[in-house]
Amino acid sequence: MVILGVTGSIIEFEPELDRVFHPHLSFITPGSRILSLSEMGDAVSQRFGGEPVVAYLPSLSPGLSYQVVLPRGIVYVNQYTGEVLGLRERGQTFLGYVRALHVRLAFGSVGKNIVRWSGAAMVFSLVSGLYLWWPTKQVRVRGDWRSRLFLFDLHNSVGIFSFLVLTLLAVTGTVIGFEDQLAPLIYKLTSSAQLQTTYAAIPEPTPGALLITPDQAVTIARTRIPGAVPYRVQMPKYGSLYQVALQSPNDGIGSGRNVVALDPFGNLVSLTRSGDLSTGERVLGINQALHTGVILGTPGRVAVALASAMVAPQVFSGLLLWRRRTQDPLPAGRSTKEQSAS
């Protein structure tokens, strides 16, 4: 539970923290003209021995750099000047390891099972804690910080202030952990099914047909999903198709589920739109958005990060109270009913 709380608090702002750790790769001064993807790709490929471009990751903010993915790693590029800011080779980063700890304790399927059952145990712990707190309903911290009374009050106060958010995180996290088992039930209860992507027949290229550029692929994709902003362009060398993923600013639940697939000549192969998600998929999407706090934007993410950080003091104060359970069995300020019973 401590690992889940601490890592959850950190990864809540993973993109922002990554930029803080690597400011020279991330932050740029906006210019008047953005270079084309082809121009950036050609410059990067020449800089790194002709390696082909795997994908482009356009920035969603004018003050953040573009990323060009090569087989060796990710190259950060100033999209206004074409300057190569640096290369991050493939491999586990600190924040990547933190995420792996949160999802599966960095220990494969065994760690994943421990995590999801820990989430279920946290739900039980929170509900039982509320039951124990309810008779006195005290929210205060008294006594010397080394005393059992201080620990008792700290445990109660922190627990009740973070109860709602932590319970929400524990429940939604448990649903995510058991999603493979729960998804069929959710689809059945909502009388829906998982969205199936339909693929069009790829026409034979006409004689003299020209291959489209990644910039043309983005233009075509944006006409298919008006108002959406591209955040990833997968090159046809890896999958035989252009895969353009777009984000819908007005859809906080399924905004990342827009994908336009085009053949190298610009013909539409498949189209997935967030607006076409089934009811069951939206339920699972809402659960994910609640767990990460993105459903409420930055305030929601801050609340999730703070509540997650409270798991550690809750666990440690509880452990210390358990170790010192023979000292002062009940602290001062207990209810009349408890006093008479003692």
Of the candidates 234, 198, 226, 225, the residue with the CA atom closest to the CA atom of residue 41: 234
Of the candidates 272, 205, 282, 218, the residue with the CA atom closest to the CA atom of residue 251: 282
Q: What is the pLDDT of residue 268?
A: 92
Tell how strand 229-234 and strand 84-89 pair up: unpaired
- Each domain of the chain, given as residue ranges in start order, spans 2-95, 112-190+301-335, 214-277
Record the pTM: 0.83
Q: What is the pLDDT of residue 201?
A: 67
SS3 state of residue 67 = strand
Query: What does the DSSP 8-state code read for residue 183?
Result: H
Q: How far is the CA of 198 from the CAs of 50, 99, 184, 209, 223, in angstroms?
A: 35, 33, 21, 25, 19
Q: What is the pLDDT of residue 273?
A: 87
Q: What is the pLDDT of residue 336?
A: 39
Q: What is the pLDDT of residue 200?
A: 66
SS3 state of residue 70 = strand
How many C-alpha atoms does 265 have within 13 Å on its Cβ side? Answer: 10
Q: What is the pLDDT of residue 338?
A: 41
SS3 state of residue 199 = strand
Q: Tokens at residue 100, please?
A: 């792996």
Q: What is the pLDDT of residue 295?
A: 86
SS3 state of residue 261 = strand
Q: What is the pLDDT of residue 141?
A: 87
Query: What does the DSSP 8-state code read for residue 295?
Result: G
Q: What is the pLDDT of residue 170?
A: 96
Q: What is the pLDDT of residue 208?
A: 76
Q: Along the 342 residues of the chain, how does pLDDT read in single tens digits?
A: 999 999 999 999 999 999 999 999 999 999 999 999 999 999 999 999 999 999 999 998 999 999 999 999 999 999 999 999 999 998 778 999 999 999 999 888 999 999 999 999 999 999 999 998 998 888 888 888 778 888 888 899 999 999 999 999 999 999 999 999 999 999 999 999 887 766 666 667 777 778 999 999 999 999 999 989 999 999 998 778 999 999 987 666 756 679 999 999 999 999 988 888 889 998 999 999 999 998 888 999 999 999 999 999 999 999 998 888 776 654 444 443 444 333
**What is the residue type of 155?**
H
DSSP for 12-24, please give it.
Answer: TTHHHHHHHH-HH
